[in-house]
C-alpha cells in the first residue's frame, strides 16, 4: 500500500509528476490515515510505502509511521533528504532508525551541477550532509538506504547496474557515503515534466522514444500489479502516476473507506499512454 500523504514539499523539482511544492496545501487527514491503517491490517497488506510531497511535513506523519510499524513487514519512507536538515525535522533521522524504516531518497545525480539544476540551488550539499548523518546511525549498513536516479531530461536512464556502480564509487571516494541499492526511474511525461516537454514541443518525440523502447519483459514487474496507491483524500489508484492524472481504479469502489467492509476484487489495471514510461528499456521503479 502506497500512500501519497500530501503535496506539500520544501522543494519544487522540475521533474516532479506530483507537482508538489511549498505553495501546495493538500494533506491527508488523520481520519483517512486511520482508514488506510485499518484496511492495511484487515486485508493483510505487507509493505507500507509513505510518500508525498515531503511526507515529513505532513501533520501526524510520525503517528502514521509508528502505527504502520506495528502492522507492516516493511515501512518505506520516500524522503528528499534536505528536509531532514531543517530544525523541525532533524530528529526524524533517529526516529527512522528507531522504527527501522526503509529509506528511499532521490539523488538525481552524483554531481552538484546536475542535482542542483533539477532540484534547486544547495540541494546537493544538503543531501550529502544528510546521507552522512544517515550512515552514522546505521543506514546503508544494518538499515536500508536506497537511492533513486532519474534522468535530467527527455532521455532514458543508463543501465541501473552501471549507474549504481558509478554512484557507489563516486560517493564513497569523495564523501565516504555508503548505500544499499540504486534504482533508476524513467521520467514520466505527466505533471511538471510533461508540461515542460509540451512547452518545448518535445512531448511527441519523447513519447515516441518511450514507445519505440517498449520491452515486454518489464510487464511482469510493473508496480501496479501488486500495489494500491492512495491519494491524500483517500482515493485509490493503480499507481501514483495514475493518481497524478486522476485515472482512478476500474471499480465502483474507489475510496479507501469502501474497503473497510468490502474485499478487493480482481480488476483490470487502468492504463494510458504514460504507461510506456514504465515499459521502456529496462523498466522503471
Residues within the interface to ligand SF4 (CB under 6 A): 9, 11-13, 16, 18, 20-21, 52-54, 80, 222-224, 238-239, 241-242, 269, 271, 274-275, 278
CB of 142 to ligand SF4, least distance (A): 26
- CA distance readout (Å), 178 to 123, 137, 148: 19, 12, 14
CB of 169 to ligand SF4, least distance (A): 25
CB 249 within 8 A of CB 239: no
Choice between 209 and 274, CB closer to ligand SF4: 274
- CA distance readout (Å), 184 to 151, 158, 213: 8, 8, 16
Distance of alpha carbon 131 from alpha carbon 140, whole angstroms = 9
CB of 96 to ligand SF4, least distance (A): 17
Contacts of 156 (CB under 8 A, 6+ apart): 186, 209, 210, 213, 280, 281
The number of beta carbons lying within 10 Å of the beta carbon of residue 261 is 9
Q: What are the φ/ψ torsions at residue 21 (nearest 5 degrees)?
A: 170, 175
CB of 59 to ligand SF4, least distance (A): 17
CB of 8 to ligand SF4, least distance (A): 9
Choice between 57 and 75, CB closer to ligand SF4: 57
Choice between 41 and 112, CB closer to ligand SF4: 112
Choice between 100 and 267, CB closer to ligand SF4: 267
Choice between 23 and 31, CB closer to ligand SF4: 23
Distance of alpha carbon 123 from alpha carbon 11, whole angstroms = 9
CB of 284 to ligand SF4, least distance (A): 7
CB of 38 to ligand SF4, least distance (A): 25
C-alpha cell at 260: 473497510
Distance of alpha carbon 182 from alpha carbon 33, whole angstroms = 29
CB 158 within 8 A of CB 200: no
Scanning 176-274, the segments in alpha helix (DSSP H) are 191-199, 203-212, 240-244
Choice between 230 and 239, CB closer to ligand SF4: 239
Look at the block and give the residue holding cell 474497503.
259
Distance of alpha carbon 41 from alpha carbon 72, whole angstroms = 8
CB 39 within 8 A of CB 256: yes
CB of 203 to ligand SF4, least distance (A): 16
Choice between 191 and 234, CB closer to ligand SF4: 191
Look at the block and give the residue holding cell 511482469.
220
C-alpha cell at 95: 526516529
Choice between 102 and 242, CB closer to ligand SF4: 242
Amino acid at each position: 500500500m502506497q500512500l501519497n500523504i500530501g503535496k506539500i514539499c520544501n522543494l519544487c523539482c522540475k521533474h516532479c509528476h506530483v507537482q508538489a511544492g511549498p505553495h501546495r496545501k493538500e494533506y491527508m487527514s488523520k481520519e483517512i490515515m486511520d482508514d488506510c491503517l485499518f484496511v492495511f491490517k484487515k486485508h493483510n497488506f505487507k509493505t507500507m510505502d509513505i510518500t508525498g510531497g515531503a511526507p515529513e511535513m505532513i501533520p501526524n506523519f510520525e503517528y502514521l509511521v509508528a502505527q504502520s510499524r506495528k502492522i507492516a513487514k516493511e515501512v518505506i519512507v520516500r524522503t528528499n533528504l534536505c528536509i531532514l536538515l531543517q530544525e523541525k525535522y532533524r530528529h526524524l533521522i533517529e526516529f527512522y532508525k528507531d522504527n527501522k524504516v526503509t529509506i528511499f531518497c532521490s539523488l538525481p545525480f552524483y554531481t552538484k551541477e546536475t542535482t542542483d539544476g533539477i532540484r534547486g540551488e544547495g540541494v546537493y550539499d544538503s543531501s550529502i550532509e544528510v546521507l552522512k548523518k544517515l550512515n552514522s546511525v546505521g543506514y546503508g549498513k544494518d538499515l536500508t538506504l536506497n537511492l533513486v536516479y532519474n534522468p535530467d531530461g527527455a532521455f532514458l536512464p543508463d543501465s541501473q547496474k552501471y549507474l549504481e556502480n558509478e554512484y557507489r564509487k563516486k560517493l564513497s571516494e569523495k564523501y565516504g557515503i555508503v548505500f544499499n541499492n540504486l534504482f533508476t526511474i524513467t521520467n514520466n511525461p505527466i505533471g511538471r515534466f510533461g508540461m515542460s516537454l509540451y512547452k518545448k514541443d518535445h512531448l511527441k518525440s519523447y513519447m515516441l522514444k518511450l514507445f519505440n523502447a517498449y520491452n515486454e519483459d518489464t510487464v511482469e514487474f510493473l508496480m501496479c500489479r501488486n500495489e494500491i496507491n492512495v491519494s491524500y483524500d483517500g482515493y485509490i489508484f493503480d499507481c501514483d502516476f495514475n493518481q497524478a492524472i486522476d485515472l482512478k481504479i476500474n471499480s465502483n469502489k474507489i475510496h479507501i473507506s469502501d474497503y473497510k467492509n468490502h474485499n478487493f476484487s480482481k480488476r483490470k489495471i487502468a492504463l494510458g499512454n504514460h504507461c510506456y514510461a514504465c515499459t521502456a528499456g529496462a523498466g522503471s521503479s
